Structure 1
Amino acid sequence: MNTDRISLSLISHTNAGKTTLARTLLGRDVGEVRDAPHVTLEATGHSLISTPEGDELLLWDTPGFGDSARLARRLQQQGNPIGWFLAQVWDRFRDRAFWLSQQAVRNVREQADVVLYLVNASEEPADVGYLAPELAVLEWIGKPVIVLLNQTGRPRPGDEEAADRERWHGALAGYRFVRAVLPLDAFARCWVQEITLLRAVGGVLPVERTAAYGRLVAAWQVRREAQFDAAMALLAETLARAVADCETLPEKRLQGALRDLGRAIGVGRDDGGGDQARAVQALAARLDANLRASMDRLLAIHELEGQAGSELLGRMARTVTLAAPVNAGKAALMGGALSGALTGLGADLMAGGLTFGAGLLTGAVLGALGGAGMARGVNRARGRLGTTLRWDDAFLSELVVALLLRYLAVAHYGRGRGEWHETEYPSFWQALVTGVVAENAAALVMVWDGRAADSSTAAIARHARPLLAQVARTILARLYPDSF
């Protein structure tokens, strides 16, 4: 036995997703994927990972079980099943589905150290007619089996996933050769679940294989951690470009400021061609291009094909910060807006500006005299010449949430699913990510406060990267506590 080469065999009922999962784990297109039985016609081994020491982990994609009940009966009837297998060449032409099942069994018997048996998790174990005969065949093979719950659908909350696992674990409790039951959907798995699977495999290998296998798992984890680090660096760069971006406007008199505010709250005529409107459009266009380019790079990091789809901006409100050495009259106007308790308009004086949101209400000029003192403090603290538009704190926080949601979507997207297509994120992701970002709000604000000193994009990204990585790991740990 070659103790440096370890083989995992994917096996299941036909058309259960073996090749799809193989493509996802390997990060490349192998075999043929179609919604039809017996697409895979022969067992094929693929190198999953190797090490400089010469260790190799092979993943075998096998033909699916067809007539499992007849195969189980034949095995029970034969005094020499191996001899029977070798004598049944004629089945290749007479009963191809049955012959393919035989080839799958031969491969697993001869090659596998551990069997990865895929089942359709959406089915009830008691209703799966082929389950019992296939388990009988696997028992005859005599290799340790890890059951993988495939076809689970979109990522789900942990309690729902645990319920599926317990349901199948209970149904398989009487089969001692089944050593673990794990969720691993070919369409929606996450890389941290792969680490959990590999650890489970290590727990059933004989002791003489553990040294080589330990090196292989370490190499696999290094590969996936490198993808994670590259993704976090990319998210940090994307965020930093938005943080550092700005548009400078010409100074206006109080009359112009009042007219602009009137347009914002729906009073007066606005032809859409004002300096502020053009500046906001320019900011939005650059952000959209930034996000699209970032998405394409994120897909490449995860060995996926496809391009960025719908605008990420469509998921978020568009808000900007007006950071300016405003005069006392203009500040009074803004102070009046704040004292009018407007929704969508908040003070951002600590970060150096006043925030314009999408929800300005009438009555903005009430209490206008209250704001004059605030502007003089901002002017002295900031020393700005000219009016600058930037993305505000609320928007940047939303951007962090959106970037992390996109990371989760890509990190869960299996290559076997085909080209990337963006869909709505699971609702529980939104609540989880928003909550973890909120827990780190103070640290995030410190990241983009650096723009007050005109910090470069590179400097902002350097500060953002470890924080985003910490937030992302917290999210993954809460999604998959067994993996950490």
Structure 2
Amino acid sequence: MTTINLSLVSHTNTGKTTLARSLIGRDVGEIRDEAHVTALAERYRMIETAEGDALDLWDTPGFGDSARLVQRLRQQGNPVGWFLTEVWDRWRDRPFWSSQQALRNVREEADVVLYLVNASERPGDAGYVAPEMEILAWLGKPVLVLLNQLGEPRPGEQDRADEDAWRQHLAGHPFVQRVLPLDAFARCWVQEFTLLDAVGSALPDSRRASFNSLEEAWRQRRLQQFRASMEILGEFLTTCSRDHERLSDEGLGGSLRRLGQIVGLDGTSDVREQAMARLAERLEREVRRTTDQLIELHGLAGRAAEEVLARVSSDFAAREKLGEGRAAALGGILSGALSGLAADLAAGGLTLGGGALVGAVLGAIGSAGAAKAVNLVRGTDSSEVRWSSDSLQRLSVTALLRYLAVAHYGRGRGEWRQGEYPGHWRPLIEEELQLRQEALGAAWSQRGANADESGGRIPDALAEILADTTRALLSRLYPGIRLPM
């Protein structure tokens, strides 16, 4: 039974406890915007195996006046040993006392040191780094430098630029094994595997076998979380695709008014608006419910933020029950020209409000034949409104945006709040979903199937499409990272 210890150290008030919360997945320690909030080194269990191996993270007090500390240490023949035998009044010289606790923890406990720096500063402007590197050199432990306070998730090349700048700045310190971006507020879980790979490389051979089992246990935990997230979103899209509202039979007059709406000759239908409102209410509830599920699954507090459902009416497809006699009468009025009917039939249904009268003459099929084709293709016994395929595509995009927002959320921030998505996320999602358009179309085509008869195939298929899409997204967002899939 082996315990691997990681000591998280930095200059004071750089975000150690916040990062500890994100890695551990629960609230630990106290967070305030002031120096020396953490007074003593605190141990937290990250994960353990059934065999008894464990990975522990130590949150240590921050280094205080590093320059003055180094000057004092240089005066001694054995600086660290002398420093740890000295006793300072913790109230009169708090920076020195806090530094003593951090150094003691690293020397006595650490297998690997995680040294956190503020990446919002240029390396040359962070004056505390040089003396603290000297202190860490005296301690003689392998060090991984973590770049914190990077801001919201950014395109990978920006992270790499910061990483390269800090690596060059620290090139003269051979005990620094790696420089890695890992923001306390906006880290993504896949970055944790790069961190664990670096930890494993820094350990002696005698401890790597135990660490490998811990890394595998961590991988399985995160993959289970990932798969469960995709299942939640697959069920969400399945529910949306099957949801519909029946419309009352309004007779020939109602059908004529509805055709008038298409060409802008009449106002909106109260019946349709009421049906759309009911669909919108159910969609909003599903968005809230599934976002709450994602939040809970990732160990975050808070409830889903308010979701604004804009332009709802444009997201509906209407399926019309047109009797042959009525269709013939309408065909006489329109001279056989219907709104994009040929294209709509090819796509699987007549989409009201989504096209203009283009004079597509159906020829010998006639209006009565067109009515039969619509009913046959749609399998409709009554009129209804439901989400269009375009709407389901947009819901797929926003579902993955919600997932990325939660998956990047640092636990140290406290309760979950919906914020603006980084601008580069949406176009990447749209590109990846477009590549899987055929598979999505096949899933949407089954949405009219009875839920019992489908045997769960639709949500399973959608979950797999979403999982494949998300893996591709994470590979593009974090190029070079080994995805544990």
Normalised TM-score (structure 2): 0.91
Is 1:322 the counterpart of 2:318? The answer is yes
1:168 aligned partner: 166
Normalised TM-score (structure 1): 0.92
AA partner of residue 163 (structure 1)? A
- Answer whether contact 2:189 2:408 (CA < 8 A) is retained: yes
- Compared CA separation, residues 44 and 267, structure 1 to 2 (3 A): same
Out of 335, 338, 362, the residue aligned to residue 336 of structure 1 is 338
AA partner of residue 244 (structure 1)? R
Kindly report the root-mean-square deviation, in angstroms, between the aligned alpha carbons of the 2 structures.
Answer: 2.2
AA partner of residue 410 (structure 2)? G
Is 1:202 the counterpart of 2:203? The answer is no
AA partner of residue 159 (structure 1)? E
Cα displacement (A) at 1:335 = 5.2
Alpha-carbon distance in structure 2 between the residues aligned to 1:382 and 1:369: 21
Residue deviations 1:328-359, cap 9 Å, x none? Answer: 358856953338xxxxxx943245322235x7
Which deviates more from structure 2 when the two are superposed, residues 251-260 or residues 393-402?
251-260
Is 1:409 the counterpart of 2:405? The answer is yes
SS at match of 1:94: coil
1:111 aligned partner: 109
Is 1:276 the counterpart of 2:272? The answer is yes
- Answer whether contact 2:14 2:117 (CA < 8 A) is retained: yes
User: How many equivalent pairs are there?
Assistant: 470
AA partner of residue 188 (structure 1)? A
2:422 aligned partner: 426
AA partner of residue 133 (structure 2)? L
Cα displacement (A) at 1:302 = 0.4
Is 1:78 the counterpart of 2:76? The answer is yes
- Compared CA separation, residues 421 and 317, structure 1 to 2 (3 A): farther
SS at match of 1:281: helix
Alpha-carbon distance in structure 2 between the residues aligned to 1:91 and 1:320: 71
Alpha-carbon distance in structure 2 between the residues aligned to 1:265 and 1:37: 67
- Compared CA separation, residues 259 and 112, structure 1 to 2 (3 A): same
Alpha-carbon distance in structure 1 between the residues aligned to 2:127 and 2:408: 31
Alpha-carbon distance in structure 2 between the residues aligned to 1:382 and 1:43: 66
2:129 aligned partner: 131
Out of 24, 32, 46, the residue aligned to residue 48 of structure 1 is 46
Out of 422, 432, 435, the residue aligned to residue 439 of structure 1 is 435
1:342 aligned partner: none
Cα displacement (A) at 1:395 = 0.4
AA partner of residue 424 (structure 2)? F
- Answer whether contact 1:150 1:186 (CA < 8 A) is retained: yes
Cα displacement (A) at 1:127 = 0.9
- Compared CA separation, residues 300 and 101, structure 1 to 2 (3 A): same
- Answer whether contact 2:200 2:208 (CA < 8 A) is retained: yes
SS at match of 1:203: helix
Cα displacement (A) at 1:376 = 2.9
Residue deviations 1:15-60, cap 9 Å, x none? Answer: 1000000001111111001111111001011111000111010100
AA partner of residue 272 (structure 2)? Q
Mapping of residues 213-228 of structure 1, within 5 Å: 213-228=211-226
SS at match of 1:453: coil
* Residue ranges of structure 2 left out of the alignment (5+ in a row): none
- Compared CA separation, residues 331 and 454, structure 1 to 2 (3 A): farther
Which deviates more from structure 2 when the two are superposed, residues 123-132 or residues 372-381?
372-381
Cα displacement (A) at 1:82 = 4.5
Cα displacement (A) at 1:393 = 0.6
- Answer whether contact 1:117 1:145 (CA < 8 A) is retained: yes
Cα displacement (A) at 1:251 = 2.8
2:376 aligned partner: 380
Residue deviations 1:256-291, cap 9 Å, x none? Answer: 122124346543344x6x221111111111111111
- Answer whether contact 1:196 1:482 (CA < 8 A) is retained: no
Cα displacement (A) at 1:249 = 1.4
SS at match of 2:61: coil
- Compared CA separation, residues 428 and 366, structure 1 to 2 (3 A): closer
AA partner of residue 414 (structure 1)? G
- Answer whether contact 2:49 2:213 (CA < 8 A) is retained: yes
1:396 aligned partner: 392
AA partner of residue 294 (structure 1)? T
Alpha-carbon distance in structure 2 between the residues aligned to 1:415 and 1:18: 12
Alpha-carbon distance in structure 1 between the residues aligned to 2:51 and 2:14: 35
- Answer whether contact 2:185 2:410 (CA < 8 A) is retained: yes
- Answer whether contact 1:246 1:388 (CA < 8 A) is retained: yes
- Compared CA separation, residues 208 and 251, structure 1 to 2 (3 A): same
- Compared CA separation, residues 265 and 64, structure 1 to 2 (3 A): farther
- Answer whether contact 2:262 2:352 (CA < 8 A) is retained: no
Cα displacement (A) at 1:175 = 0.8
- Compared CA separation, residues 347 and 251, structure 1 to 2 (3 A): farther
- Answer whether contact 2:349 2:378 (CA < 8 A) is retained: no
- Answer whether contact 1:227 1:302 (CA < 8 A) is retained: yes
- Answer whether contact 1:38 1:63 (CA < 8 A) is retained: yes
Is 1:454 the counterpart of 2:456? The answer is no
AA partner of residue 367 (structure 1)? G
AA partner of residue 63 (structure 2)? F
Cα displacement (A) at 1:465 = 1.5
